[in-house]
Amino acid sequence: MPLSTPADWYDGLSELREGNRRALYGLLAALPEMPGSFLDIGSGATVLVKIMSRLLGINDVMGIDRYHASPLIHPADLAQPVELGRRFELVTCWELAEHIPPAAADILCSTIARHVGHWLVFTAAQPKQQGLQHVNCQPLEYWREKFVGAGLEYSDALTEKVRNVWDQIPAFEWLRQNVQVFEKES
């Protein structure tokens, strides 16, 4: 049955919570140090924001999402420029970009890059990946070029480390195959 409203979409995300929790813990284990601040772009059901805040005790957390607003979530259409006026040590954007129209891809990448203080962990559906409302499935290199053009450096070593950790835990295969880790240029 197709999803008809944003509420239907968020209700469907509840089954993904445990996998996202494992993936986040694996990611944090792969990073050289625990970040002191966190931004999740395309927060959906706010799983990553809640884990970072409630379970890990990181007080400086925020999410951005079009349909979900709360004290920790800034409501915004990510096909339009978003400016929070600051950077976060760790920024995640997992499986969102394929839902943004191709004409807004540069806007999304600029919004993401401008908020990265240290690391960006990005995943997006690749061509032929099944999913609801996928309008912009692109190869890894497409997104990599956009983020490098926006001032981030691709880290092959950290990307492989995250993939290897995610291979060891039951995380979602599509995250593992789509992940790319970037660092803010010095």
* Tokens encoding 3: 């999803």
Tell me the pTM: 0.90
CB atoms within 10 A of CB 123: 24
13 touches 45 (CB < 8 A)? yes
CATH architecture for segment(s) 39-184: 3-Layer(aba) Sandwich (3.40)
What pLDDT, on the 0 to 100 scale, is given for residue 54?
86
pLDDT, one tens digit per residue, over 58-102 is 999 999 998 877 888 999 999 999 999 999 999 999 999 999 999
Rounded average pLDDT over 107-117? 98
Max Cα–Cα distance, the chain, nearest Å? 48
CA angle 134, 182, 9 (to 5 degrees): 30
| pLDDT band, very low/low/confident/very high, at 19 (cuts 50, 70, 90) | confident
